[in-house]
Homo-oligomer: A and B are copies of this chain.
Amino acid sequence: LNPNIMEFLKETVGEDQVASKLIDLISYSCDASVFRHRPDVVVYATTTEQVSAILKMANRERIPVTPRGAGTNLAGEVVPARGGIALDMSRMDRILEISLEDRIAVVQPGVVYADLNKRLALHGFVFPPDPSSGIVATIGGNVATNAGGVRASKYGVTMGYVRGLEVVLPSGEVMRAGGRVLKTSSGFNLTQLFVGSEGTLGVITEVILKIDPKPTETCTAMATFPRLTDAGRAVSQIMRSGAIPSVLEIVEKTCIKAINQRTPLNLPEVEAILLAETDGFVKEDALFQMNKIVDIFRANGAMEVKWAESAEQAQALWKARKSSFPVVSSLNNTTFAEDITVPLSKVPDMLQALEELGSKYNLIFPTVGHMGDGNLHPHFSYDRTNPDEVERVTQAEKELYRAAIELGGTLSGEHGIGLAKAAFMPLEHDPVAMATMRSLKKMFDPNNILNPGKMNLEAASDV
């Protein structure tokens, strides 16, 4: 970047809000994915006006700008693939307002998910989407990736809670979409166009979220299954029975083995463990739902069903599920969490396809997943210094996506597209939809300065 631009940035945000040492550039070259590319400079914004001034300049000078929060995303969304400015929004971190009466929270994009929910919990309220990274991930990133979590099966994902946004467009113009009302039928839904847009259309500078009363009662149970197909059938029956699990998680045998190798949990080495939680505001409600679920577990060949009698017992049941990612990450030098999602009835087929892919490519896919919404997280765990293994992973990944799409699924349930799945977009989206997305990108960002290179928005490209 030329010195004038560096000077402009320092004048705009302050000397100490601009970083360009090698260590800064390396830090900002990555997120939680396997992708890496350095920015030319890191800028910390603290006001909407600063973001506006930066984008205006960047648009004029054709400098790429990649907005980011905590960088916990898993698909390369905030890797500055073309260099330029890494725009760190994490210092815009104020909770501007919590209005129980209006059932909304107004926050800056850098507010950490868990901090918001800690504040809401004081009042018995919650912002329900529950990303695993919530303890560090920021709300801006939740919105930009349409983040989900283990409770999405009952409570849905981020999109269902975003009522309004302030965004800065690539031109530097500031726009308000939506607002404080809980519903509206006034004009196009500009708000939802930015939810899940991964910072490619505008930079989010304020978010108005719907908040909900927080359930006070839960039931937790787990069941072990000797056959994967039994677990799959149990899930199907649960979902069609009208039961409403707030959580319905799977941990399958490869993952169980890995957990047993690396932890003292000593799990039964079965084909699959299902973990269920129900919730509500009266115990009877959570119980009613859980009774239905446990009956279905039993009717489908569950070997052991453990029902937590206390919060401590519930936490013990959660341990297997929660230890899976750290355990799997320690298996090899590279781990990539997949995120394919299929219609609920296709979960058994997808699990079957994973098993076949493993045999074919001599790979293991330790898998956990949110069964209540068909979202599977098989993990690619491999040695990236071994070219043969990398090649097998690359092939298997392609086939995995094809299999998911053929089953009526999507490339991503909650992690997003970023760099990781950009090339595969045309597998899922028909040519008219792809052309429409590219036209939208061009309309909002004619000079392609905002997070360029992501989501396959630039030109026709096939797999």
Contact = CB atoms under 8 A, between A and B. Distances in A.
A403 interface: no
A188 B197 contact: yes
Nearest to A236: B101
Interface stretch (A32-40, A220-228, A311-319, A410-418): A410-418
Contact of A282 (B176, B288, B430): B288
A101 B240 contact: yes
Contacts of A339: 185
B185 A416 contact: yes
Contacts of A285: 280-282, 284-285
A301 interface: no
Contacts of A343: 99, 102, 104, 180-182
A404 B67 CA distance: 35
Given A181-B374, A373-B182, A433-B177, A425 B344 contact: no
A389 interface: no
Contacts of A173: 432
A100 B184 contact: no
Interface string A75-106: 00000000000000000000000011111100
Given A101-B240, A195-B189, A284-B284, A181 B213 contact: no
Interface string A132-159: 0000000000000111100011001101
A145 B185 contact: yes
A435 to B, nearest CB: 8
A203 interface: no
Interface stretch (A1-9, A253-261, A355-363, A437-445): A437-445
A329 interface: no
Contacts of A436: 169, 175, 190, 444
**Interface residues of A: mostly helix, strand, loop or mixed?**
loop
A335 interface: no
Contacts of A187: 196, 417, 425, 428-429, 433, 437, 455
A408 interface: yes
Interface residues of A, number: 90
A292 to B, nearest CB: 9
Contact of A188 (B99, B177, B243, B440): B440
Interface string A360-392: 000000000000011100000000000000000
A244 interface: yes
A181 B413 contact: yes
B414 A183 contact: yes
Interface in A184-216: 184-190, 192-193, 195-197, 201, 213-214
A412 B185 contact: yes
A195 B339 CA distance: 26
Nearest to A216: B242
A239 interface: yes
A125 interface: yes
B188 A437 contact: yes
A174 B342 CA distance: 23
25 contacts: A100-B239, A101-B345, A146-B184, A146-B185, A153-B182, A160-B160, A173-B432, A176-B432, A181-B341, A181-B410, A182-B374, A183-B341, A183-B413, A183-B414, A184-B341, A185-B339, A187-B196, A187-B428, A188-B196, A188-B197, A213-B243, A244-B281, A280-B280, A281-B288, A440-B443
